[in-house]
């Protein structure tokens, strides 16, 4: 826990559509040591659905958490190909990523759908990691803050203060995801500070101070230290580098 903020850092690996079951076991084995040493921070992995049970077994005896990458809005029913929050809970997940920009972009997920998914996750007892962030076009048009404000307002609409306090937010500028371009620590901090101020409306002043806001977008071993030094950055959502155990171990052990 950081004495200055009272928030624990969270380092989350989003494996996207990567990792068979044997690869899952190897990826987890490769970060166990780093995670065990990182007592003052939380670590989790988000494998694809087919590897969740294997991951849950491999994680026994560790403090590494398990997340899914998506869920459906309903607890059960005739929704071919979908997975419910209750099923994720049953397989051992404690967390679920909601509204990742790849889902917004390729699966047409809207802020309204994100809101329903947050509700579904909370009902199932999962902690949602809610992704927001602007595209390059929106940033170049000087629209970054209005876009993320809208994503927060529409995504969190109607949630109780207690529900909002249980969320993790991930600020992920779309132009930085998987591109090798990272937001500068100053650009990221500007967005994180704005998000935290906005969260006061939803969770009150102390509530907003307790919510973790992760940065995501080409986080690597060589840029993680400077990003994590920012006062409103409480961890990272890591895609590509979380598939390399040496790189992710170094990210977990950031200074
Ligand atoms: C992500 O998948 O959320 C992500 C930030 O990916 P990358 O680290 O590869 O940019």
Confidence band of 2 (pLDDT split at 50, 70, 90) = confident
Confidence band of 5 (pLDDT split at 50, 70, 90) = confident
Residue 120 falls within a domain, yes or no?
yes
As a whole-number percent, the residues of the chain with pLDDT over 70 amount to 99
Q: Which residues contact 77 (CB under 8 A, 6 or more apart)?
A: none
Per-residue pLDDT at 1:
67
> Nearest Cα to 98, choosing from 244, 237, 251, 248?
237
Whether the pLDDT of residue 188 is over 80: the answer is yes
CATH at residue 88: 3.20.20.70
Per-residue pLDDT at 4:
80
Whether the pLDDT of residue 3 is over 70: the answer is no
Dump pLDDT digits (tens) for 126-161: 999 999 999 999 999 999 999 999 999 999 999 999
Distance between CA atoms of residues 65 and 96, nearest Å: 11
Residue 18 falls within a domain, yes or no?
yes
Cβ(69) to ligand 1 under 6 A? no
Number of domains the chain is built from: 1
Residue 1 falls within a domain, yes or no?
no
User: Distance, CA 77 to ligand 1 centroid (Å)?
Assistant: 32
Q: Which residues contact 179 (CB under 8 A, 6 or more apart)?
A: 217, 218
Catalytically active residues are: 100, 172
Whether the pLDDT of residue 226 is over 90: the answer is yes
Residue 2 falls within a domain, yes or no?
no
Give Cα separations from 139 to 89, 174, 191 (angstroms). Answer: 37, 10, 11
Q: Note the pTM of the prediction, 2 decimals.
A: 0.97
Mutate to test the pocket of ligand 1, among 16, 46, 188, 224 (most ligand atoms within 8 A of CB): 16
């Amino acid at each position: 826990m950081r004495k200055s903020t009272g928030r624990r850092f969270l380092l989350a690996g989003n494996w996207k559509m990567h990792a068979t079951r044997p690869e899952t076991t190897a990826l987890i084995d490769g970060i166990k040591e780093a995670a065990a040493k990182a007592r003052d921070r939380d670590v989790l992995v988000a494998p694809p659905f087919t590897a969740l049970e294997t991951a849950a077994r491999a994680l026994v005896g560790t403090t590494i958490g398990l997340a899914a990458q998506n869920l459906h809005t309903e607890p059960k029913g005739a929704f071919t190909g979908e997975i419910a929050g209750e099923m994720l809970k049953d397989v051992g997940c404690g967390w679920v990523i909601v509204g990742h920009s790849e889902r917004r972009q390729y699966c047409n997920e809207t802020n309204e759908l994100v809101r329903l998914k947050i509700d579904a996750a909370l009902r199932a007892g999962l902690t949602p990691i809610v992704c927001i962030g602007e595209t390059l076009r929106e940033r170049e048009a000087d629209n970054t803050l209005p876009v993320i404000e809208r994503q927060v307002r529409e995504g969190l609409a109607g949630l109780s203060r207690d529900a909002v306090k249980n969320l993790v937010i991930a600020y992920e500028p779309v132009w930085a995801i998987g591109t090798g371009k990272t937001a500068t620590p100053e650009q990221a901090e500007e967005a994180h500070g704005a998000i935290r101020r906005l969260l006061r409306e939803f969770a009150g002043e102390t509530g907003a101070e307790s919510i973790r806001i992760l940065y995501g977008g080409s986080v690597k071993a060589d840029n993680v230290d400077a990003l994590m030094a920012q006062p409103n950055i409480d961890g990272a959502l890591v895609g590509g580098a979380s598939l390399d155990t040496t790189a992710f171990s170094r990210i977990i052990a950031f200074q």
